[in-house]
Amino acid sequence: MAGHFEPLSGGGAAVALDEVEVSILRSLAVQLLELIGPGEDASGPDGADPLARLFAEGPSEPPSDPALARLFPDAYGDPGTEQDPRERAYAAEFRRYTENDLRDRKREDALAVVRSLDSLGAAGDEAAVLRLAPEDGRRWLGALNDLRLAIGARLEITHEDDSEALLRLADDDPRKPMVMAYLWLGGLQESLVDALMG
């Protein structure tokens, strides 16, 4: 079980994580939360109207940060190509009504990772076993995917072949730890998919 998720009887998945792995995963999830930004306070003093919240308008322009642009891509047009005016208008309209909800979901996924890691407590020298119910597993999948997208954007990975080239970086290359995290998260994500489907 060490290093990869395995299916639990009755659904869900489990993985053994040592103290360093827990620390790295938690740190990455917190950084993802900081990147996504704080959510709207739906429980404001006058009590937010749920219907008004549903139709609240969000941003219409894509984020300028490459990692956020990867997490919140335009719904129309091909990435990296110039949009025609009609596609740009459609993308802006779609973003206006969907990005806030998407940010909320991504924030909840990252928070689920932090909370489940915090619930492990101190395991000392022994690896702690993290058990995820199916719903928690889906949240973890979302967060692992978002972490890989954000790290991939920072590493300028546009194709899977790019990560192979980055793997051959010299050990003293400052990108090496980020590459190793990217690949490790990919292994965790793949094993979690297999465990949840098994």
Q: Each residue of 82-127: pLDDT tens digit?
A: 878 888 888 888 888 889 999 999 999 999 999 999 999 765 667 8
Q: Assess whether pLDDT exceeds 90 at residue 26.
A: yes
With respect to residue 1, please indicate whether it lies within any of the assigned structural domains: no
- How many separate domains does the chain show? 1
Q: Each residue of 32-50: pLDDT tens digit?
A: 999 999 866 544 444 566 6
Print the SS3 string covering the chain: CECCCEECCCCCEEEEECHHHHHHHHHHHHHHHHHHCCCCCCCCCCCCCHHHHHCCCCCCCCCCCHHHHHHCCCCCCCCCCCCCHHHHHHHHHHHHHHHHHHHHHHHHHHHHHHHHHHCCCCCCCCCEEEEECHHHHHHHHHHHHHHHHHHHHHCCCCCHHHHHHHHCCCCCCCCHHHHHHHHHHHHHHHHHHHHHHC
What tokens appear for 137 in the block?
Answer: 């597993």
With respect to residue 3, please indicate whether it lies within any of the assigned structural domains: no
**pLDDT score, position 7:** 96
**pLDDT score, position 198:** 77
Q: How many residues does the chain have?
A: 198
**pLDDT score, position 43:** 45
With respect to residue 101, please indicate whether it lies within any of the assigned structural domains: yes
d(CA 29, CA 108): 11
With respect to residue 123, please indicate whether it lies within any of the assigned structural domains: yes
With respect to residue 4, please indicate whether it lies within any of the assigned structural domains: no
With respect to residue 94, please indicate whether it lies within any of the assigned structural domains: yes
55-67 average pLDDT score: 81
State pTM to two decimals.
0.85
Range of 145's domain? Answer: 9-197
**pLDDT score, position 49:** 67
Q: What percent of the chain has pLDDT over 90?
A: 57
Q: Each residue of 141-181: pLDDT tens digit?
A: 999 999 999 999 999 988 777 777 887 889 899 999 999 99
With respect to residue 176, please indicate whether it lies within any of the assigned structural domains: yes
Q: Which residue has the higher pLDDT, 84 or 79?
A: 84
